[in-house]
């Protein structure tokens, strides 16, 4: 994972605001509504001490941003990253707000994080950091207030520790306050691959619009973390795609005959989480991967990887944004001019929060669904949201991103008006 500098993170939130501004300009919103919706409603900055294994005490910094709760309790992941900043968290909380709205979930958007390097923490230290963080923000959490979930470098085990700490503080069981949990603690079947699976449903719908067959279509996947590896395997399994390029922090691989994604998956599991050392395939750079002539390009790792500099060289027919914020606004315009069909991140990678919402529902009722029901309901949510975006794009004569934002912003703005917060 490349480091995100403080300056880049500021640009990330500015990018999120610019995307909002461009879509809001298409709508009949008051100046007060625009001013209210382009900034977070609430931010929590915390610093907390943790006893380390060597007996020393280290102070960690953390954040939780509750961007907007007009449509329901806020929802969003927690990131443990050594370069985490408040501006990154603000941007991701904003995108989560529009993401939950565009797929019509009864939720708002949030995000959180701790500045730490999990690779340099023991299991015991990681548990203590997790418990301390949730203890410090617990008064702001609840199934009717704010619901965290896993994100970068956080896992179901971390969610389990956080759930236990929260319930210890409150003195009662509340499974739904944390999602992305292990199945034994109320997690949902289908959550692990939900982001990638939702992306495959979105690609399928885009292919229908374009009159394109996915069977045999070439796919390049940038990033082979949790989202990327399932994008590759499900692209092959569900869509019949030929995955010709993959990458991770160590570099990228290309094979014009297509990889066996199951073998790649197994190789990663037994080789330190890397696929870039896989012996079959030509070594290329991550930059070259993005510029390959493929049918589907799936950026599934980093922010700001498609920019005004490299967008003119992007040759895919579809860009499926499985990562958050992979395309800058300036690059967006270039891709549209080139006739490349972009499935925006707030729709394309919304499968995770959709199944997290399913997890909350199952927790509340104490009745858990099977795999088929989860997949069918995820498919329905993504397909309906895609139709809403596509129709709005035609009505307004705009690209998919502006259309998706227009749908989401209208829904949030309506809830704000009905509550009487802003006219």
Domain ranges of the chain: 41-178, 194-343
The secondary element (H helix, E strand) that includes residue 36 is helix 31-37
Give burial (CB, 10 Å; 0-12/13-18/19+) of 286: buried
Give burial (CB, 10 Å; 0-12/13-18/19+) of 102: buried
**Nearest residue to 209 (alpha-carbon basis) of 403, 407, 421:** 403
With beta carbons less than 8 A apart as the criterion, state whether 197 and 358 touch.
no
With beta carbons less than 8 A apart as the criterion, state whether 197 and 222 touch.
no
The predicted model scores a pTM of 0.94
Mean pLDDT of successive 10-residue segments in the chain (423 residues)?
42 92 94 97 97 98 98 97 94 97 98 96 98 96 96 94 97 95 96 96 98 97 94 97 94 95 92 88 94 97 92 97 94 95 98 97 95 98 98 96 98 98 95
Distance CA 386, CA 346 (A): 11
pLDDT at position 25 is 95
Domains 41-178 and 194-343 share a fold: yes
Which of helix, strand or coil describes residue 52? coil
Which of helix, strand or coil describes residue 399? coil
**Nearest residue to 320 (alpha-carbon basis) of 378, 401, 211, 405:** 401
**Nearest residue to 344 (alpha-carbon basis) of 312, 311, 321:** 321
Is CATH 3.40.50.2300 the right assignment for the domain spanning 41-178? no
- Eight-state DSSP code of residue 260: -
Q: 110-148: buried (b, 16+ CB within 10 Å) or exposed (e) per residue?
A: bbbbbbbebeebeeebbbbbbbbbbbbbbeebeeebbbb
Q: Which of 75, 111, 229, 242 is catalytic?
A: 111
Half-sphere exposure of 213 (CA within 13 A, CB side): 3
Distance CA 11, CA 118 (A): 25
With beta carbons less than 8 A apart as the criterion, state whether 296 and 218 touch.
yes
Residue in this structure with the two tokens 């610019």, named with its chain if needed? 18
Distance CA 299, CA 305 (A): 8
pLDDT at position 280 is 87
With beta carbons less than 8 A apart as the criterion, state whether 242 and 258 touch.
yes
Sequential DSSP letters for 267-280:
HHHHTTT--TT-SS
pLDDT at position 3 is 41
Is CATH 3.40.1160.10 the right assignment for the domain spanning 194-343? no
Both structure tokens of 381: 């949510």
Which of helix, strand or coil describes residue 53? coil
| Known catalytic membership, residue 119 | no
Distance CA 300, CA 193 (A): 13
Provide the pairing of β-strand 318-320 with 218-222: unpaired
For 95, 129, 132, 152, the CA distances from 80, given in Å and listed in that order, are 18, 10, 13, 6
Those residues whose C-beta lies under 8 Å from the C-beta of residue 402, and which sit 6 or more positions away, are 22, 23, 26, 393, 396
pLDDT at position 8 is 47
pLDDT at position 272 is 82
Sequential DSSP letters for 173-231:
--GGGS-S--GGGT--TT-TTHHHHHHHHHHHHHHHHHT---TT-EEEEE--SHHHHHH
With beta carbons less than 8 A apart as the criterion, state whether 391 and 404 touch.
no
């Amino acid at each position: 994972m490349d480091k995100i500098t403080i300056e880049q993170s500021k640009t990330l939130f500015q990018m999120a605001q610019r995307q909002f501004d461009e879509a809001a300009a298409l709508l009949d919103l008051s100046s007060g509504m625009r001013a209210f919706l382009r900034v977070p409603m609430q931010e929590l900055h915390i610093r907390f001490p943790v006893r380390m294994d060597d007996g020393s005490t280290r102070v960690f910094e953390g954040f939780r941003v509750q961007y907007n709760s007009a449509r329901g309790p806020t929802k969003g992941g927690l990131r443990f990253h050594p370069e985490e900043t408040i501006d990154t968290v603000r941007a991701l909380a904003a995108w989560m707000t529009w993401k939950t709205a565009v797929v019509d979930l009864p939720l708002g958007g949030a995000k959180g994080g701790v500045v730490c390097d999990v690779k340099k923490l023991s299991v015991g230290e990681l548990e203590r950091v997790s418990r301390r963080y949730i203890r410090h923000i617990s008064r702001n959490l609840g199934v009717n207030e704010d619901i965290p979930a896993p994100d970068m470098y956080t896992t179901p085990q971390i969610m389990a520790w956080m759930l236990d700490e929260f319930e210890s503080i409150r003195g009662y069981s509340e499974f739904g306050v944390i999602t992305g949990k292990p199945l034994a603690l109320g997690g949902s079947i289908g959550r692990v691959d939900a982001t990638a699976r939702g992306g495959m449903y979105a690609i399928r719908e885009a292919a229908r619009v374009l009159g394109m067959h996915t069977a045999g279509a070439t796919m390049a996947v940038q990033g082979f973390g949790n989202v990327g590896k399932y994008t590759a395997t499900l692209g092959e399994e569900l869509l019949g795609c030929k995955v010709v390029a993959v990458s991770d922090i160590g570099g990228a691989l290309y094979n014009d005959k297509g990889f066996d994604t199951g073998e790649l998956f197994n190789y990663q599991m037994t080789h330190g989480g890397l696929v870039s050392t896989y012996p079959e395939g030509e070594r290329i750079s991550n930059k070259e991967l993005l510029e390959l002539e493929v049918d589907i390009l799936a950026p599934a790792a980093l922010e700001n990887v498609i920019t005004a500099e490299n967008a003119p060289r992007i040759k895919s027919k579809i860009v499926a944004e499985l990562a958050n914020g992979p395309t800058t606004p300036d690059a967006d315009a270039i891709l549209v001019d080139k006739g490349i069909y972009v499935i925006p991140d707030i729709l394309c990678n919304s499968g995770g929060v959709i199944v997290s919402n399913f997890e909350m529902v199952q927790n509340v009722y104490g009745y858990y669904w099977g795999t088929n029901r989860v997949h069918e309901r995820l498919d329905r949510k993504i397909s309906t949201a895609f139709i809403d975006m596509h129709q709005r794009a035609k009505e307004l004569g705009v690209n998919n991103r502006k259309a998706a934002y227009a749908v989401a912003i209208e829904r949030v703005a309506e809830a704000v008006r009905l509550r009487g917060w802003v006219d």
